[in-house]
Chain A
Amino acid sequence: MSILNTNPFQDPRAADSLNGKAYVRCFSPYLVAHLPEVFAQGNVILRGTIGCGKSMILRLFDPKVRIAYFEEGVEFPVPKGQRMFIATGVNLSKSGVLDIVQRMPNTATNEDVQRLTAIFVDYLNYWLVNDLLDSCERMMLKKECFEGLIDPTRIDHFVAAVVNEDCWFGYLSECKTLKAIRERIDERLNHLRSWANWNIDALDKAVEQSKAAIGEPVACSVVCMKDSGLLESEAVAFVRIDQVEELLHKDPPQYQLTEEFRRHIYRALGRRDGRVSYRIGTRNYDSEILSMPGGRKLEESRDYVIRDFDAILRRGENPKDWLFKGFAGDVFNHRLNAALPDGLPPFSSKRSLCRQFFGASPTPQVLVERIIVKQDTPVEALININDLKAPWQNFIRAVYKRETGISKVTSSGYKIDPLNAALALAWAKQNGGHAGQPPRCETDEPPKLVSKAPWTVWWQKERVSHAMLQLSASHRQKLIWWGMEDVLALSSNNITLFLSICRETWELWQRELRSSSNAPAFGEVPLTVQQVAIENISKRWHQNLSKQPGRPGGDVRIRFLDRVFADLRIKLRKDEAMRYPGANGFSVLLDEVEQFPELKRLLDECVAWGDLECIEHTSKNPADKIRGRRFKYYANSILVPHYQIFQAHTKEPRYVLPDELLKHAISAKALPTSAEAQKPTSQQPELDLGQHS
């Protein structure tokens, strides 16, 4: 294989969809060390948006994956001390277990709800036991791959013990072999499926009379495996329940039922007997942890811990701690090595292939030179200086022509300085943080030409992106992105997104290489190729996100976001004083948005599906101290090129009232006009932040 005829990122889905050899070669173990709780005893709720790498990690529980590692001669990536485990799992969506909801009578009584819940629990119990036995059989067939974890010679002892357990209520008493147990369980599961799908009218008496409490059959089976010597006594048993968010989706009256289902799942987590450890997979819904039947509520840290993949991978205050950067680089290396087994073409160093491929992202100065190519562009075409007094106009013209001490010498010989001129205009239009005072351009003289920039480094840093947006818009050019830093930032800490950018870039690069007369060599992809690839991927993900389901669906959510971010872009363009350089996102008070349940649901759904990123933040508005929690929202970074805003999350986002969002939702036909029925009572001033210098 050469770099010309293969694309290592052809399937941009994370390794969760790859099988056997391909998984082993593509899987990056980078995150395993950072998620010690996942492979340790105890219950863990794993949260994260689609494509964040959650399922990829959970696949390590699959015995088929462990066998593949053994057969490929590759070290199993789970730390040695945590490899003694067996696992079982159910995906609530794919298993059909939720078909039971179709049996809910129109006017359901409490008794109906309890009966259907008991059947749901039964279905879940038998599914989990079936999957556990399936794992066990696979492990027995390839026991050499499991480092003494399983002893197939003890299978008869296990069978003899397990069938007599009380949890079956005699249902398995006739079974003498593992095969017979599995057939009996299969019969029950198919019977339950048929009933849930209205193919039969009634459940068998044998089924009706042998329903157990949630988690009991799987826990008993694990204990029997250990007691009989089939399974190493120190082994941990993991029970995965995926797509629990499906239980949040049903509308009334089904919600009454799915809420009861959730309570029973929480009951399984709340057992505290250590026989099995649950792994609950869910998207990023901020759902309430309901009380278990009996009234007790699960306690975080005691009954479970939450691992939020999006939060783990998000860049914090210290860039060195940014896990996603290392993760993406490692995934890049694995993909390349998997696709090019004969080795890569020569390249300068083996360190950070990813950086060599994408190169460095542009500095603001380089970016401005790429966007405003014609150096004879008059300042008036880019910056609105007409309403300034003559001295300030002259000052900004001088900055533009690089005639002041503000402009630094460039190696490119670029003759104009639009970026500093735009910043100078903003400086002129601010008032230095003196509320109610006129702007500097009306009260002060402009700085002397020989002076250095009158603003601080931080003031400038916070406004450079904003200035770039205004300049590109005035020049009728698009904002552009390239280089490693931009690719990582636009990937939104989502590995599938990162792989999508890699795939598109590689594909366009191949086309370029084919038409080139030089020998193909691995190295930095031309920035024009990267620009186009990023633009294409942004557009494609805008389409992809609009095709996601949900309540409301992706098309509805994206229509809403299109309005919101188009409006924010207009406001950013008009804000010549750059008072709100953080207004590429918005912030709302939780108490206020909760007055509009449909709007709240719309925002929650946007976050759960990864259209929006949501982070709680401390309000800079003193009045908010008594008004409760505040959340800021930003578009998924990959949408930033499509919306032509900037990605950096600096300064405060735009503080908005819910009715501003409601108006967008209604005009985008994302919510019916009835959603506007209630009006908020409090009047919230727009935050005044930008005038400090």
Chain B
Amino acid sequence: MFRPSGNLEWSLACSHARKWHFLGSINSELRSVEVAKALCRLGVMSGNRILRIKWPDSPFSEEGERRTSENMESFQKLCGEPIILERDLLAPVSDFTMDAQNPTTSAVVLDITSMPKRFYFYYLKSLILNPMVDDLFVTYCAGRYGQGALSSNHEDWEVLPTFRCSNRSAEEEARKRLAVNVGFMPGGLEEHLMTDESETDLSLILPFPARVSSVRRVWKSAMEIRNQWYGESSSVHICRVAPDDISGAFDLICRIANGNPLSLAPFGPKPISAAMCIFATLTDSPVYYAQPKWYNPDYTTGPDTDNDGQPKISGHWIKHSGKLLYNYPVH
């Protein structure tokens, strides 16, 4: 199925112009406001909800708060007053069940650029399942990543809220095969593999092509994960997909699953994680993660830019005119 995705303006132009309800998150990253600003400049945003995370107290809190306030001001200047959803990072689902409900229009942009997974996985799932949402468009602004530890102080290996299989035995089956979106920080995953014997098959999805520095860091993570694998060497599979290709990543995950139960671990680029979310939503697959609680204020040092110096923003159609563009082929 053709699923338009690519440069923000190009992707939007694939269908007729419409007004969009915007759901995004603003934090200390400069890139967190880029998509909202771009949509405002295009004049297509009709309403907004901005997730502002209340981070657990950390040595980075003060600096993080200062930068977040600056980014909020930057949003206000161009897009007007935001409707802020203030949520604790580890808030129970009951706190944010309504966040993605009742949008101002039936067309929704979900900007996952700076949104923690435990929120955007739930939002994306709700928006996919919401029959009132006709058009669903996911956006992402690539960033220039900082050096050293980008995040720390992670939680236990656990399912992302609401992403447990509804059936116990199905989850046990799914746990035997794990697909990992490999990123720079595999915190929690290594420890899980070291202490848990559930998985017998491991697929490592590496973002490629990517910057040389990113490729190096991702391979380092892959090696660290591999070092904790006590299963057969032949049961570790390496696969590659472009880091900003939701559609390609979804197809790859379908191929990995090949009609069998699969569990997912989204540790890498957000668009690949979004593909995992779509797959899990359609197949009732479990998604595991170890949520970091502290983020380095220099997680990204700014948006990644194209040859013209413009932020690299990609847009991905998930639903169009009431039709979901993704489906899991029947095996």
Contact = CB atoms under 8 A, between A and B. Distances in A.
B59 A671 contact: yes
B156 A103 contact: no
A13 B230 contact: yes
A672 B64 CA distance: 13
- Which of B152, B157, B197 has most A Cβ within 10 Å? B152
B94 A102 contact: yes
Interface string A527-569: 0000000000000000010011101111110000000000000
Most buried by A among B95, B188, B194: B194
A553 B94 contact: no
A254 B59 contact: no
Interface in A654-693: 666, 669-674
A197 B162 contact: yes
Interface residues of B, number: 45
B163 interface: yes
Given A106-B94, A198-B162, A553 B152 contact: yes
A251 interface: yes
B57 interface: yes
A254 B152 contact: no
Interface string A192-205: 01101111000000
A365 B168 CA distance: 61
A653 to B, nearest CB: 27
Interface string B166-190: 1111010000000000000001101
B164 A193 contact: yes
Q: Which of A103, A555, A674 has the most chain B CB atoms inside 10 A of its CB?
A: A555
Interface in B54-109: 56-61, 90-95, 97
A549 B95 contact: no
Interface in A142-187: 186
Interface in B215-269: 230
Interface in B106-163: 149, 152-159, 161-163
B92 A254 contact: yes
Given A197-B163, A673-B59, A549 B156 contact: yes
B159 A549 contact: no
Contact of A17 (B149, B154, B157, B197): B197
Given A193-B168, A254-B92, A556-B152, A544 B194 contact: yes
Contacts of B294: 556
Contact of A102 (B93, B188, B196, B290): B93
A198 B98 CA distance: 12
**Most interface-central of B61, B168, B196 (chain A CB within 10 A):** B168
B191 interface: yes
A199 B166 contact: yes
Chain A interface category by residue count:
35 or more
Contacts of B290: 549
Interface of A is mostly: loop
Contacts of B197: 13, 17, 19
Contacts of A673: 59
A199 B162 CA distance: 7
A96 interface: yes
Contact of A104 (B92, B158, B195, B196): B92
A114 interface: no
B224 to A, nearest CB: 8
Contacts of A11: 230
Contacts of B166: 190, 193-194, 197, 199
A479 interface: no
A547 B191 contact: yes
B178 to A, nearest CB: 15
B293 interface: yes
Contacts of B90: 251
Given A93-B156, A556-B153, A666-B59, A186 B168 contact: yes
Contacts of B188: 547, 549
Contacts of B167: 190, 193
Given A17-B197, A671-B59, A105 B94 contact: yes
Nearest to B149: A555
Interface in A83-131: 93, 96, 99, 101-106
B311 to A, nearest CB: 30
Nearest to A18: B197
B154 A549 contact: yes
Nearest to B294: A556
Nearest to B169: A186
A622 B280 CA distance: 63
Contact of B93 (A19, A50, A198, A548): A198
A106 B187 contact: no
Contacts of B59: 666, 669-673
Interface in A66-95: 93
A103 B96 CA distance: 11
A547 B94 contact: no
Nearest to A55: B195
Nearest to B157: A549
Given A11-B230, A549-B188, A102 B161 contact: yes
A96 B159 contact: yes
B323 to A, nearest CB: 23
Contacts of A471: none
A189 interface: yes
A629 B197 CA distance: 41
Contacts of A106: 91-92, 94-95
A154 to B, nearest CB: 27
Contacts of B168: 96, 186, 189-190, 193
A672 B61 CA distance: 8
Contacts of B158: 93
A197 B164 contact: yes
B58 A102 contact: no
A636 to B, nearest CB: 15
B187 A198 contact: no
Contacts of B91: 106
A666 B59 CA distance: 8
A102 B162 contact: yes
A553 B92 contact: no
Nearest to B58: A672
B94 A103 contact: yes
Contacts of B230: 10-11, 13, 17
Nearest to A598: B57
Nearest to A559: B152
A372 B293 CA distance: 47
Contacts of B191: 544, 547-549, 554
B164 A13 contact: no
A354 B235 CA distance: 33
Contact of A555 (B152, B155, B164): B152
Contacts of B162: 102, 197-199
A669 B158 CA distance: 26
Given A197-B163, A198-B97, A555-B153, A101 B92 contact: yes
17 contacts: A93-B158, A99-B159, A102-B93, A102-B94, A104-B92, A104-B94, A197-B166, A198-B93, A198-B161, A246-B156, A547-B187, A547-B188, A547-B191, A549-B154, A554-B191, A666-B59, A670-B59
Given A197-B166, A199-B166, A555-B152, 14 more contacts: A11-B230, A13-B197, A13-B230, A96-B159, A102-B93, A102-B161, A197-B163, A254-B92, A544-B190, A547-B187, A547-B191, A549-B188, A556-B152, A669-B60
The 5 closest A-B pairs by CB, nearest first: A553-B153, A669-B59, A17-B197, A102-B93, A549-B156
